[in-house]
C-alpha cells in the first residue's frame, strides 16, 4: 500500500506499508549522506511510526542508497533501536539487497519497473552488423504489447508476424482478471499499467506492436490510453491460418470499402445523445441499440458492405478505419457542440477496436460510452465503461 503525506497529518512516518503484515518501510535517499542527519532520521521516523501505528507495527525496515556503505554510527544506532523496541523487528535494505530483489524479478516485471532494456542487453540485438549496438538501431525496432485477456497469446507466433522488424526487449503483457472486477475497475488497472509503460517507452522505441485478444470494451480502452500520438501497429489473429502475420495474397475488394450514413450536416445547440454503430464483423442492429439509447438525436452507421469475421485481412484497412472514425467524431463535434455523450456500438475485430479507441480525444470529444454484446442478454448490448468524462 503506497502512503503519502496528507495535510497536517503527514504520512505517519511511513513511506510504504504492507498492511496485513504490519511492515513499514522508511526510505532515506539524499544526494549526499550525513551521519548526523541519518542517525537523527532513524530516531525521528522510528519513534514517530511507533507513536502513530502502535501495536499494528510489527517490523520496521530502513531503506537507504549509500553506495559506499554506512558510517559506523548508523548501524550502531540501529542496534540500539532493536534494544529500545524489543517487540519490533528492525531491519535495513541497502543497495545490494535492492539489487538482488531486482535480479529476482521476471523479465516482464523488470520491463514494467525499469523500462525497456538497451538493445545490446536483449539477447537479440547484440553488437554485430545487424544492430551495431547503436541507438540508431532503435529506428527499426518496436516494442511488443500482448493484450491477452480472453485467451493466451503465443508470443513466438506474434513475434514472427513482425518479420524483419526487431522486437526490442521483453514484451509487455497486459492481462486483467476478466470477470473478477467490474468493467470500470478492470479499465483502471489496465490504465495504470499502460500509462507507466507508455511514459517509459515514449522516447525509447519509435513504434509499438499490439497483439490483442480481449473483450471489445477493453480493446477500445487500450487504444484510448495509447492514443494516436504513439506510432502503433495493430495485428489481427487469423484463425484459419493460425497466424498473426498479414496474408501476403490478400487483395482489395468491394467488401472492404466502408460506407457512412447518418452524419448530420447542420449544427444543433441542444444537449443530445448520439449513437454510432460500427458494423465490420457483424451487423449492429438499430433495434438493439434503440433499446439501450432510446430517442437518440442522431444515429450514425459506419459499415462494410457485407460484415464478416473475415473482413480484416490487410493492414491498410485499419488505417482507413481510423481515418473514417476520426472524421465521424469531428463531424459530430461540429454538429453537436453540446453533445452529452456518444454511445459507441462496435462489432468488429480486436485490432480494429484498438484503432477505434485511438481516435477518441478526451479534450476534443464528449464522453464515449462502450458496450459489450451478449446475444443471450437483455438487452443484447450491456453498458461496460466510458472513455473520457468524469
Residue 112 and residue 96 share a domain: no
Q: Looking at the 3D structure of the chain, how many domains does it have?
A: 3
If we measure between CA atoms, which residue out of 83, 108, 98, 126 comes closest to residue 27? 98
- Shared domain for 207 and 308, answered yes or no, is no
Assess if residue 127 is contained within a domain.
no
Q: Are residues 34 and 79 in the same domain?
A: yes
Verify that 75 and 111 share a domain, yes or no: no
pLDDT at 377: 92
Is it the case that residue 192 has pLDDT exceeding 60? Answer: yes
pLDDT tens track for 7-18: 565 666 667 666
Is residue 129, in this structure, part of any structural domain at all?
no
The position carrying cell 452524419 is 263
Residue spans of alpha helices (H) in 119-208: 155-160, 183-201
Residues 201 and 222 in one domain: yes
Say if residue 198 is in the same domain as residue 86.
no
Sheet-wide strand order for 59-64:
16-18, 23-28, 59-64, 89-93
What SS3 string covers 54-96?
HHHCCEEEEEECCCCCCCCHHHHHHHHHHHHCCCCEEEEECHH
Of the pLDDT bands very low, low, confident and very high (cuts 50, 70, 90), residue 39 is: confident
Over residues 146-152, mean pLDDT: 87
Give the model's confidence band at 218: pLDDT under 50 very low, under 70 low, under 90 confident, else very high: very high
**Is 18 part of any domain?**
yes
Residues 214, 165 share a domain: yes
57/171 same-domain check: no
- With respect to residue 246, please indicate whether it lies within any of the assigned structural domains: no
CATH number at residue 334: 3.40.1360
Is 388 in contact with 368 (CB distance < 8 Å)? yes
Residues 382 and 331 in one domain: yes
Q: Are residues 298 and 365 located together in one domain of the fold?
A: yes
| In a domain? residue 218 | yes
Average pLDDT over residues 378-382: 95
Q: Which of 121-130, 139-148, 176-185, 206-215 has the lowest mean pLDDT?
A: 121-130
* Nearest CA-CA partner of 375 in 351, 353, 347: 347
Domain shared by 88 and 111, yes or no: no
Q: Which residue has the higher pLDDT, 214 or 112?
A: 214
- Give per-residue pLDDT as tens, 223-277: 999 998 888 999 999 989 999 999 887 777 766 789 999 988 777 777 889 999 9
Q: Is residue 131 part of a domain?
A: no
- For 66, list phi and psi in degrees, rounded to 5: -75, 115
Is residue 229, in this structure, part of any structural domain at all?
Answer: yes
Domain hosting residue 166, numbered range: 107-121+140-235
Residue 70 sits in a domain of what CATH number?
3.40.1350.110
Q: Could you tell me if 287 and 365 lie in one domain?
A: yes
Q: Is residue 15 part of a domain?
A: yes
Amino acid at each position: 500500500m503506497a502512503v503519502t503525506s496528507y495535510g497536517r497529518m503527514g504520512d505517519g512516518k511511513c513511506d510504504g506499508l504492507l498492511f496485513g503484515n504490519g511492515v513499514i518501510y522508511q526510505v532515506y535517499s539524499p544526494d549526499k549522506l550525513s551521519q548526523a542527519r541519518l542517525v537523527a532520521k532513524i530516531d525521528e521516523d522510528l519513534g514517530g511510526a511507533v507513536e502513530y501505528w502502535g501495536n499494528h507495527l510489527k517490523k520496521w525496515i530502513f531503506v537507504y542508497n549509500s553506495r559506499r556503505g554506512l558510517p559506523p554510527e548508523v548501524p550502531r544506532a540501529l542496534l540500539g533501536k532493536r534494544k529500545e523496541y524489543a517487540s519490533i523487528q528492525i531491519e535495513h535494505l541497502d543497495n545490494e539487497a535492492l539489487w538482488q530483489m531486482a535480479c529476482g524479478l521476471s523479465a516482464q516485471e523488470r520491463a514494467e519497473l525499469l523500462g525497456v532494456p538497451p538493445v545490446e542487453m536483449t539477447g537479440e540485438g547484440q553488437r554485430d552488423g545487424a544492430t551495431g549496438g547503436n541507438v540508431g538501431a532503435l529506428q527499426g525496432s518496436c516494442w511488443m504489447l500482448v493484450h491477452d485477456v480472453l485467451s493466451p497469446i503465443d508470443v513466438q507466433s506474434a513475434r514472427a508476424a513482425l518479420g524483419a522488424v526487431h522486437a526490442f526487449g521483453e514484451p509487455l503483457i497486459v492481462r486483467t482478471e476478466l470477470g473478477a472486477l467490474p468493467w470500470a475497475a478492470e479499465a483502471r488497472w489496465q490504465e495504470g499499467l499502460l500509462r507507466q509503460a507508455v511514459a517509459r517507452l515514449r522516447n525509447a522505441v519509435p513504434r509499438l506492436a499490439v497483439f490483442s485478444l480481449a473483450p471489445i470494451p477493453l480493446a477500445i480502452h487500450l487504444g484510448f490510453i495509447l492514443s494516436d500520438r504513439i506510432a502503433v501497429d495493430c495485428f489481427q489473429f487469423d484463425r484459419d491460418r493460425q497466424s498473426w502475420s498479414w496474408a501476403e495474397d490478400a487483395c482489395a475488394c468491394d467488401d472492404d470499402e466502408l460506407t457512412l450514413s447518418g452524419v448530420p450536416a447542420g449544427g444543433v445547440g441542444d444537449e443530445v445523445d448520439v449513437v454510432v454503430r460500427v458494423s465490420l464483423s457483424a451487423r449492429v442492429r438499430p433495434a438493439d441499440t434503440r433499446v439501450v439509447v432510446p430517442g437518440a438525436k442522431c444515429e450514425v452507421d459506419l459499415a462494410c458492405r457485407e460484415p464478416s469475421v473475415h473482413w480484416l485481412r490487410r493492414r491498410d484497412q485499419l488505417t482507413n478505419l481510423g481515418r473514417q472514425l476520426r472524421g465521424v467524431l469531428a463531424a459530430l463535434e461540429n454538429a453537436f457542440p453540446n453533445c452529452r455523450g456518444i454511445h459507441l456500438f462496435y462489432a468488429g475485430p480486436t485490432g480494429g477496436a484498438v484503432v477505434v479507441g485511438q481516435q477518441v480525444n478526451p479534450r476534443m470529444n464528449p464522453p464515449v460510452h462502450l458496450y459489450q454484446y451478449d446475444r443471450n442478454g437483455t438487452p443484447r448490448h450491456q453498458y461496460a465503461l466510458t472513455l473520457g468524462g468524469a
